Structure 1
């Protein structure tokens, strides 16, 4: 089940809480964030060029927009950056003690954005769908640490992680709302906690294990079929990138660790790890 994988440091960085890698095909670059460092990072594998942009508050995720720029899941709501970097709010909804966490763009171009409490109070977060015009639809209430989100290749299922449950769940929608939530795969106690995820072209679900130092791949039936050991304790999320979507990028964290190893906080890559599914930019 576990087999050696070639793991490289794509970008040497010291992110406190690296998260949310996403391939931007329009600009041939990877986008990710440092939540606690309040930074948006980009990296172009073809040229090696990269950029780092400071933001005003904690940022859980940044995803490409159809017209250029980025949509961001921020502490106080959903923000928009245009192609020139100018900022505006799509939805300003500050809640004391709460911040945005992971987010993903659905196949229909909407943004699914999760939140959590800074104190990780059980039930203090949610998952909300944002349409292009900012219309918000609550999908899940009373989650604790809203994390990984992805879709099956045929878009019939969403995959979702509320980290303390130690599960990946499947979600089915009817008329824009979740009609069914079913456990898909569980992580055993002591093996870490499921964090961010991505789905490959075979319909397999790759999950990063916080405090587990691993990536795990589950078949479409929920069976564990591959384990990749990583040189960091806190991988946070993964995404396929590169022109052919064959390289698997992994964000990592160093927050809360005493004397973390050198790669902690860097962007890692597993070359030719599989085949990803093209993403959809946010329609707004």
Structure 2
């Protein structure tokens, strides 16, 4: 039987970007509004690192560091001394965008997108790829909210939610353009919409269905095969973790910036067990340093 449990009494304002690091055997995630990185150890201890501005996502790299996407810029962050080293600023001329969701591809490049915070009729957010030489390129434009970047087990298919209640799929070349764009999953057909996502070892896409208070599993052919009701209205993102990569961690939202939930459990971190699925170890960000 599927088991959903709350992890600690901590409540995030805008929990997002969960990431399980296989080497450290711990979970990272962010509270975007508070500007915090959080780290859950196997003994249950939670460490918190305040960035003093909004944060979208992160990817772990070697030497106890991470690449992080703050409001307008990319930085390296050291967990050892809590120092920041700026890589670059992006979209400085666009007052209404900020960095949002991100994840590494199977080769260790960081894929990260921005989002329009209010003015979404003429979307100007985008999706970027940062390689090991720290070269930054735009790989998709006309984005409303960049959410749920994830990859098929072999890394040749890229999934991504552009903020239009759908998940798109592309053929993926880690050194080239995104090609063969198609709609993989249309949330409107199920009366819902997707947020953060991850892929299991069988190629199924697991996603937070924020429009219906659920976690969904979508087959590689695009069919919604499983719907799990959550105890909060706004689950936000998912990642497989645990010693066997068979536990699904779920972040949630109390204050999205547009709406505030009065639910007691809103903003909690959850763990789902007994799903009968296993994830894939995420690749660390690989740079030339």
TM over 0.5: yes
| Contact kept? 1:91, 1:134, Cα under 8 Å | no
Give the aligned partner of residue 248 of structure 2: 248
Q: RMSD over aligned Cα, in angstroms?
A: 1.6
Structure 1: gaps spanning 5 or more residues: none
Q: CA deviation at 1:69?
A: 1.3
Give the aligned partner of residue 109 of structure 2: 110
- SS of residue matched to 1:177: coil
Give the aligned partner of residue 27 of structure 1: 24
Q: CA deviation at 1:123?
A: 1.6
| Contact kept? 1:248, 1:272, Cα under 8 Å | no
Structure 2: gaps spanning 5 or more residues: none
Q: Kindly provide the CA deviation profile for residues 22-64 of structure 1, in whole angstroms up to 9, marking residues without a partner as x.
A: 00122211000011111111101x2111111111211011221
Q: How many residues align?
A: 279
Give the aligned partner of residue 43 of structure 2: 47
Q: CA deviation at 1:11?
A: 3.1
- Aligned-partner Cα distance in 2 for 1:257–1:173: 35
1:142–1:275 Cα change, 3 Å: same
Give the aligned partner of residue 97 of structure 1: 96
Bigger mean CA offset, 5-14 vs 99-108: 5-14
- Aligned-partner Cα distance in 2 for 1:17–1:144: 18
- Aligned-partner Cα distance in 2 for 1:258–1:169: 28
1:107–1:67 Cα change, 3 Å: farther
| Contact kept? 1:59, 1:75, Cα under 8 Å | yes
| Contact kept? 2:96, 2:119, Cα under 8 Å | no
- SS of residue matched to 2:148: strand
| Contact kept? 1:69, 1:82, Cα under 8 Å | yes
Q: CA deviation at 1:107?
A: 0.7
Write the mapping of 1:203-214 to structure 2, written as runs, cut at 5 A.
Answer: 203-214=203-214
- Aligned-partner Cα distance in 2 for 1:111–1:258: 31
Q: CA deviation at 1:192?
A: 3.1
Bigger mean CA offset, 170-179 vs 72-81: 170-179
Pair 1:14-2:11 in alignment:
yes
Give the aligned partner of residue 269 of structure 1: 271
| Contact kept? 2:20, 2:27, Cα under 8 Å | yes
| Contact kept? 2:11, 2:269, Cα under 8 Å | no
| Contact kept? 2:240, 2:278, Cα under 8 Å | yes
Per the normalisation by structure 1, the TM-score is: 0.93
- Aligned-partner Cα distance in 1 for 2:107–2:260: 42
- SS of residue matched to 1:188: helix
| Contact kept? 2:217, 2:227, Cα under 8 Å | yes
